[in-house]
Amino acid sequence: MVITGAGIVSSMGTGWSENAAGFRAGRTAFREVDLFDTSRQRVGSAGQAEVPEEAPAWAGARTWSRMDRGSRLAWIAAQEALGQAGLAEDGGAMPILVGTSAGAMPLGEAYYRQAVVGGSRRGQFSRVERYQPQRQLTSMARELGLHGPLRIVSNACASGANAIGQAFHLVREGRAARVLAGGYDALSQLVFAGFDSLQALAPSGIPRPFDARRDGLAIGEGAGFVVVESLASARERGARVLAEVAGYGAATDVHHLTQPHPEGDAALATMTTATRMAGLEPRDIDYINSHGTGTPLNDIAEARAIARWAGDAVGGVAVSSTKSAIGHLLGGAGAVEAVICLMALDGQWLPASLNIREPDEACIFDLVREPRDSGVEAVLTNSFGFGGANATLVMRKEVAS
Partner 1 sequence: MSRIHVSGLGAVSSAGWGVPALMEAVATGRRPEVSLLERETAGGEVRATEVLRVPKPADRGVIPRSPRLRRASTVGKHAAAAAAEALGPERLAAAQAGGFRLGVISTLMNGCVNYSNRFFGEVLEDPSTASPILFPETVYNAPSSHLSAMTASTAPNDTLVGDGAEYFTGIDLAAEWLLRDDCDAVLVVAAEELDWLSAEAMGFYARALVPSEGAAAVLLEKDASGPVLLAVPDGVSYAGEADRCRALGRVVDGLADLVGPAGDTGILLSDGRTGVARFDRAEDEVFAGWAGPRVSLRTQLGESLGAAAGLQTVVAVESVRRGEVAKALVTSVGGNEGVGAALFGA
Catalytic residues: 157, 291, 328
Q: Answer yes or no whether residue 35 interacts with partner 1 by CB under 8 A.
A: no
Q: Could you tell me the smallest distance in angstroms from the CB atom of residue 129 to partner 1?
A: 7
Q: Answer yes or no whether residue 258 interacts with partner 1 by CB under 8 A.
A: yes
d(CA 34, CA 32): 6
Q: Could you tell me the smallest distance in angstroms from the CB atom of residue 175 to partner 1?
A: 8
Q: Answer yes or no whether residue 90 interacts with partner 1 by CB under 8 A.
A: no
Phi/psi of residue 309, nearest 5 degrees: -65, -45
Q: Answer yes or no whether residue 88 interacts with partner 1 by CB under 8 A.
A: no
Cβ neighbours of residue 374 under 8 Å, at least 6 residues apart?
286, 287, 318, 348, 349, 350
Q: Answer yes or no whether residue 374 interacts with partner 1 by CB under 8 A.
A: no
Q: Could you tell me the smallest distance in angstroms from the CB atom of residue 307 to partner 1?
A: 20
Q: Answer yes or no whether residue 308 interacts with partner 1 by CB under 8 A.
A: no
Separate counts of helices (H) and strands (E) for the chain = 13, 16
Instruction: Identify each DSSP E strand in 26-104 by its residue range.
Output: 31-32, 45-46, 96-99
In the bound state with partner 1, the residue whose beta carbon lies nearer, of 95 and 222, is 95
CB pairs under 8 A, 24+ apart, for 56-65? 58/88, 59/143, 60/143, 63/139, 63/140, 63/142, 63/143
Binding segment (CB under 8 A) for partner 1, from list 16-24, 134-142, 275-283, 333-341: 134-142
How many chain residues bind partner 1 (CB under 8 A)? 70
Asked whether the beta carbons of 231 and 401 are under 8 A apart, the reply is no
Q: Answer yes or no whether residue 205 interacts with partner 1 by CB under 8 A.
A: no
Binding to partner 1 by CB under 8 A, coded x per residue (else -) over 93-132, reads x------xx-x----xx-xxx-xxxxx-x--xx--xx--x
For CA atoms 291, 297, 300, 304, the dihedral sign is: negative
Binding segment (CB under 8 A) for partner 1, from list 197-205, 220-228, 320-328, 367-375: 197-205
DSSP result, 188-240: -HHHHHHHHHTT-B-TTS---TTBTT---B-BB-EEEEEEEE-HHHHHHHTPP
Which residues inside 321-350 make contact with partner 1, applying CB under 8 A? none
Q: Which of 18, 35, 41, 86 binds partner 1 (CB under 8 A)?
A: 41
Residue 308's CB is within 10 A of a number of other CB atoms, namely 16
Q: Could you tell me the smallest distance in angstroms from the CB atom of residue 367 to partner 1?
A: 28
Bridge partners of 5, per DSSP, are: 227
Binding segment (CB under 8 A) for partner 1, from list 4-12, 317-325, 344-352, 382-390: 382-390
Amino acid identity of residue 178, one-letter, is: R
Residue ranges in contact with partner 1 by CB under 8 A: 38, 40-42, 93, 100-101, 103, 108-109, 111-113, 115-119, 121, 124-125, 128-129, 132-135, 138-139, 141-142, 146-156, 162, 166, 169, 173, 189-190, 193-199, 250-254, 257-258, 265-266, 269, 385-389
